[in-house]
């Protein structure tokens, strides 16, 4: 079965363009996963990306995940809602102080709860 996929890009050239949401719940934490953990990233990738047809990493084996996650330029940050993983973002540092958001999103049950929104 073929599925048409649309890719969107977000570019923010000025830090002032980012405005934090004023309605974010108090029980949200954002924590960096500082130890490369293929099981964690695979879980987040499939849980967040399942409804969006993220498929490019599905065939990856453990060693591929570990190789991908190991460079210091890549960071994984996990959003926790009352201690439960609610979403994540993978950030990759680029030359000239640029950062690329490689993947990000929320698990389906946490969408619409003012987690990570901007105003």
Q: Tens digits of per-residue pLDDT, 1-58?
A: 787 877 777 777 787 887 766 666 788 999 999 999 999 999 999 999 999 889 999 9
Structural domain contains residue 5: no
Query: Over the Cα atoms of the chain, what is R_g?
Result: 15
The pair of structure tokens assigned to 27 is 């029980």
Across the chain, mean pLDDT equals 89
- Taking the model in full, what pTM does it have? 0.83
Q: Which of 73, 67, 70 is nearest to 35 (CA)?
A: 70
Q: How many domains does the chain have?
A: 1
Whole-Å CA distances, 84 to 11, 36, 53, 69: 29, 19, 23, 22
**Structural domain includes residue 53:** yes
CATH code, domain carrying 36: 3.40.630.30
Contact in structure between 38 and 45 (CB atoms under 8 Å)? no
Would 68 be classed as within a structural domain?
Answer: yes
Whether the predicted pLDDT of 112 surpasses 90: no
Q: What percent of the chain has pLDDT over 70?
A: 92
Q: Is 12 exposed, middle or buried (0-12, 13-18, 19+ CB in 10 A)?
A: exposed
Check residues 113 and 61 and name the one with the higher pLDDT. Answer: 61
Asked if residue 9 is part of any domain, the answer here is no
91 is a domain residue: yes
pLDDT for the residue 119: 42
Residue range of the domain that includes 90: 23-110
pLDDT at 74 over 80: yes
Helix (H) or strand (E) holding 46: helix 38-49
């Amino acid at each position: 079965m073929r599925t048409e996929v649309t890719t969107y890009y977000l570019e923010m050239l000025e830090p002032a363009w980012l405005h934090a949401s004023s309605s974010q719940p108090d029980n949200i934490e954002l924590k960096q996963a500082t130890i490369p953990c293929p099981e964690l990233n695979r879980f987040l990738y499939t849980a967040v990306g399942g409804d969006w047809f993220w498929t490019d990493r599905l065939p990856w084996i453990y060693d591929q995940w570990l190789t991908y996650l190991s460079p210091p330029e890549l960071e994984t940050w996990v959003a926790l809602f009352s201690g439960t993983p609610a979403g994540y973002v993978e950030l990759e540092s680029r030359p000239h102080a640029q950062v690329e958001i490689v993947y990000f999103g929320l698990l389906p049950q946490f969408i619409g709860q003012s987690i990570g929104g901007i105003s």
